[in-house]
């Protein structure tokens, strides 16, 4: 049995269900987060709590738990579930949306498997395909993934691994990760109109640690295609080097000298 958390109690995770006409399903409205647990240790809990509570604030969602209480629930789940490496999905789902400024909401947390990616992905790199799209309220991590699911079947057709959202010639984020570009040994990532990922923040820490010049700034699509290296970051994706976008080769088409040590440094954190 995997242990989850349902409203106010720990429970068999497979039994966590919500009514089909819940606001979470009927109106596609819920706060979401996803964090890893590595060898019984929740990974970067504080940053995930920062983001989850920020998302709830942006969506005006209110759960009956303080940040400290949610932290305790996470610690408890990490003890109760004994897998070596898994994820915790967080949902805060409004019970009603009429009346008050904040929506009283239920908290659900459920453990899930994390896909293991083959080594080639990290040594040979992946391809992206672009779509002209900007997410609604991008700073909030919500359950609103419709375009990502809808366009998912094009990935196979175009031999791409992920969809990169661009809007008005600006690079934003992929459907489930952040993007960095490397140009003349300087690293850049968009800092507005994106969801700021936890892995993104860890990569920024690593860049500072390694004294690699880094700037958060708007990145144009022409800068993207002219980059020496590109990589994406996410909780399940870790740091994935990108060698092709829309069929065009990035840099020399190989995983580059800035990306490689970052990928290795990140993997050390989780293995």
- Looking at 1, 14, 76, 261, which residue binds its own copies (CB under 8 A)? 14
* 11 near its own copies, judged by CB under 8 A: no
In angstroms, the CA 59 to CA 234 distance is 22
d(CA 141, CA 200): 14
| Binding flag, residue 16, its own copies (CB under 8 A) | yes
Counting contacts by CB under 8 A, is residue 21 touching its own copies? Answer: yes
**Strand, helix or coil for residue 73:** helix
Provide the H-helix boundaries in 82-173: 119-124, 146-157
The interface with its own copies within residues 72-101 (CB under 8 A) comprises 89, 91, 93-94, 97-98, 101
Taking the least distance from each CB to its own copies, the nearer of 47 and 89 is 89
The binder of its own copies chosen from 8, 19, 123, 185 (CB under 8 A): 19
> Of the two residues 177 and 259, which places its CB atom closer to its own copies in the complex?
177
The region of 16-24, 119-127, 228-236, 261-269 touching its own copies under the rule CB under 8 A is 16-24
Q: What whole-number distance in Å separates Cα of residue 29 and Cα of residue 37?
A: 26
Q: Which lies closer to its own copies via its Cβ, residue 24 or residue 256? A: 24
Residue from 122, 262, 269 nearest 187 by CA: 262
Quote the DSSP letter at residue 75.
H
Location of structure tokens 């979470």 = 24
Choose the binding region for its own copies from 78-86, 132-140, 239-247, 257-265 (rule: CB under 8 A): 132-140
Nearer to its own copies, 80 or 254 (CB): 80
Decide whether 152 or 247 has the Cβ nearer to its own copies: 152
Q: For residue 171, what are the CA distances in angstroms to 125, 131, 143, 202?
A: 19, 10, 22, 20
Residue 24 in the binding site for its own copies (CB under 8 A): yes
Q: Of these, 47, 65, 104, 112, which contacts its own copies (CB under 8 A)?
A: 112
Alpha carbon 51 to chain centroid, angstroms: 11
Can residue 32 be called a binding residue for its own copies (CB under 8 A)?
Answer: yes
Binding of residue 60 to its own copies (CB under 8 A): yes
Helices 67-80 & 45-58 angle (0-180, nearest 10): 130
DSSP class of residue 142 equals B
Q: Which stretch in 10-18, 35-43, 215-223, 236-244 sits in contact with its own copies by CB under 8 A? A: 10-18
Q: Is 27 in the site for its own copies (CB under 8 A)?
A: yes
Residue 75 φ/ψ, nearest 5 degrees: -60, -40
Nearest to 238 by CA among 149, 148, 177: 177
Number of residues binding to its own copies, judged by CB under 8 A:
44
In the complex, what is the shortest distance from the CB of residue 128 to its own copies, in angstroms, rounded to a whole number? Answer: 19
Q: Tell me the C-alpha distance between 114 and 240, whole Å.
A: 15
- Identity of the residue, 13 or 187, whose beta carbon is nearer to its own copies in the bound complex: 13
| Residue 267 and residue 202 in contact, taking contact as beta carbons nearer than 8 Å | no
Q: Under the rule (CB under 8 A), what is the footprint of its own copies?
A: 6, 14, 16-30, 32, 59-60, 89, 91, 93-94, 97-98, 101, 108, 110, 112, 133, 136-137, 142-150, 152-153
């Amino acid at each position: 049995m995997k242990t989850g958390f349902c409203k106010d109690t720990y429970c068999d995770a497979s039994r966590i269900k919500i009514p089909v006409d819940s606001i979470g399903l009927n109106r596609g409205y819920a706060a979401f987060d996803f964090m890893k647990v590595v060898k019984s240790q929740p990974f970067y809990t504080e940053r995930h709590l920062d983001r989850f509570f920020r998302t709830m604030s942006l969506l005006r969602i209110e759960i009956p738990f303080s940040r400290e209480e949610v932290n305790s629930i996470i610690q408890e789940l990490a003890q109760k579930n004994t897998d070596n490496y898994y994820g915790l999905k967080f949902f805060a789902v409004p019970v009603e949306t009429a009346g008050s400024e904040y929506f009283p909401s239920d908290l659900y947390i459920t453990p899930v498997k994390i896909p293991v990616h083959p080594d080639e992905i990290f040594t040979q790199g992946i391809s992206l395909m672009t779509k002209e799209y900007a997410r609604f309220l991008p700073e909030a991590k919500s359950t609103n993934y419709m375009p990502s699911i809808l366009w998912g079947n094009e990935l196979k057709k175009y031999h791409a691994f992920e969809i990169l959202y661009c809007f008005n010639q600006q690079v934003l984020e992929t459907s489930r990760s952040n993007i960095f570009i490397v140009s003349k040994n300087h690293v850049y990532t968009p800092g507005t109109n994106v969801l700021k990922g936890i892995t993104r923040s860890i990569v920024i820490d690593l860049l500072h640690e390694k004294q690699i010049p880094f700037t958060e700034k708007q990145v144009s699509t022409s800068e993207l295609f002219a980059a020496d290296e590109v990589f994406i970051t996410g909780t399940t994706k870790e740091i994935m080097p990108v060698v092709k976008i829309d069929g065009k080769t990035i840099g020399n088409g190989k995983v580059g000298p800035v990306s490689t040590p970052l990928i290795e440094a990140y993997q050390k954190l989780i293995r």
